[in-house]
Amino acid sequence: MAGERFSEQIVRELRLKFPQDHIDYIPHERHDDEDVVVVPHLQIENIARELKPHFPSLMDVCGVDYPEREKRFEVVYHFADPAKKRRLRVKSLVKEGEKVPTVTPVFKSANWFEREAFDMFGIPFSGHPYLRRILCHEDFVGHALRKDYPADRNQSLKTPLEHTFAKDRERMMSQEVDHLSDKVWLNIGPAHPATHGTLRFMAVLEGETIRSLDVEIGYLHRCFEKMAETHTYNGVIPYTDRLNYCSSPLNNNAWCRSIEKLCGINVPDRAKVIRIILDEFSRVIDHFVCIITQLVDVGALTNFWIGMRAREAVYDLFEKLCGARLTVSLARVGGLGFDLPEGWVELAEKVCDIILETHREVDVLATKNRIYVNRMVDITPISAEEAINWGFTGPCLRACGVPRDLRKDHAYGGYDQFDFDIPIGEKGDCYDRYLVRMEEIRQSVRIIRQALKQIPAGPIIVSDTNIVLPSKSNVYGNIEGLMHQFMKVIYDVEPPVGEIYDCSEGANGELGFYVVSDGTGHPYRVKCRPPCFAIFQGFPKLLEGHMIADAIAALGTINIIAGELDR
């Protein structure tokens, strides 16, 4: 039909397929990708099967708590078809204790997301392969993201870790693994240099070959989503710094873009271009940290000192701009908190030269090094189909030959004004992941240099007094300005009642924020879709049949950032 949304066609097909079930359709006024379909929870697995041909990717599953409702919880599914640039949100409403069928037989990416909803809200998923807590420890009482759980109630783990490790050993060794009679259980981490102090994986080995693997996270659980409910929208920005502390501005800008989409805010052109410059510098240093630390993990220390030179040069830029280096809080809802100081553009050009020189040196030392290539080629390959099923995005997906990049697919924030290429691999192995990141560094510099030549004049933040703080001269010069300052600090931005999902191309892939607003200055619910969360849940599948030393090499190439993983 003329003018009909694609989501309306989907709903019509679902109603024909499930005539006995009530299916609601809630179109969004401004955004086609924000349409919502509400379905019966008992049919969610069957509906997921019907949706998969239209939406091959399940990007996220999360819960929302409404304690005053009879059906207390919303289970929210975010489906996507990146190739056709379509998205759909599906919800099921459930009462306390009602079981929701797992969709893991349809989408492998649902595994950890369902575990998280179980852990944080107590929503049980029937048929899940192994439903247990994922971020909180086994002694934790209650569910931290329920509205009746106090934000300041901490709980210490009482059970000794040795007891937990013993249970894991018993569980994994009791499983039949190719009917092995001679098998060994090996625990690595969390306090181990190879797992960077915050991850843990357990392997059942035959000799040095991994026959099965399990991974555990949660050692850096920061309660980001709970804290977001107790802060203003701008007050959340310093928390986003610490999601991926290797590329803080990317997280700042992604969060602010989400709230701007929710509020319908159009950011000034100058702020858009500066944000892109900051995002790409952040991507460069994030990729460098990934590459050089992985090289250290496999024994190539020299590259670490070389790569850090470029990282520190970028940090000098951040410091000159805002006074901070690692956690910068540069963005604001509606624009930026800091304008470029005199000489910053010229310094940025010099930093681009340093980046490319550093890139050349690492390239010479590593890319064709026989020892390194042998450690990387054909190690932990994954097919494009399998990677999509697990929820891979970013460099790890592009290494499988899938040219998906939100900067191209959605061209958010003005990326359509820049010329750059999307590098892809072939096998999806460790070497392809390395090569993709190396080329993305060069492409980011290409974007930065174009942007530096076309930074427009004008403001760096919107002038709407309902969004931004007044000028200092206004605050100090009259009582109205002082009152405005006070009210904005206390109440901040107050988006309309509603919900939004917005995503950006983070250094590791799709960084998304699902935000529910109740009309106040504090988010009712924030769900962060961290890129490496979906990728790490596929890590055990990657390692089956490989050597234990390959686990260390592979871990570095998928670039797990614990602050983003655990939130």
The total of other beta-carbon atoms located within 10 Å of residue 92's CB is 23
pLDDT one-digit tens code per residue, 375-422: 999 999 999 999 999 999 999 999 999 999 999 999 999 999 999 999
- pLDDT, residue 176, reads 62
What pTM was estimated for this model as a whole?
A: 0.94
pLDDT digits 0-9 by tens, 437-481: 999 999 999 999 999 999 999 999 998 888 888 888 888 888 888
Whole-number average pLDDT of the chain: 92
Q: What is the pLDDT of residues 281-322, one digit of tens each?
A: 999 999 999 999 999 999 988 999 999 999 999 999 999 999
The DSSP result for 114-183, as a single string, is HHHHHHHH---EET-TT---SSS-TT--S-TTSTTS-TT------S-HHHHHHHHHHHHHHS-STT-SS-
Q: Which domains does the chain have, with CATH numbers?
A: 6-126 (3.30.460.80), 155-222+532-543 (no CATH), 224-529 (1.10.645.10)
Alpha-carbon distances of 15 from 18, 20, 39, 43, 80, rounded to whole Å: 5, 8, 10, 12, 20
CA distances from 392 to 218, 387, 389, 427 (A): 20, 5, 8, 14
Residue 210: helix, strand or coil by DSSP? strand
Specify the pLDDT at position 496: 94
The 10s digit of each residue's pLDDT in 486-515 is 888 888 899 999 999 999 999 999 999 999
What's the mean pLDDT in 9-22?
93
With contact defined as beta carbons under 8 Å apart, do 88 and 55 qualify? Answer: yes
Give the whole-angstrom CA distance, residue 380 versus residue 451.
Answer: 37
Q: What is the pLDDT of residues 94-110, one digit of tens each?
A: 999 999 999 999 999 99
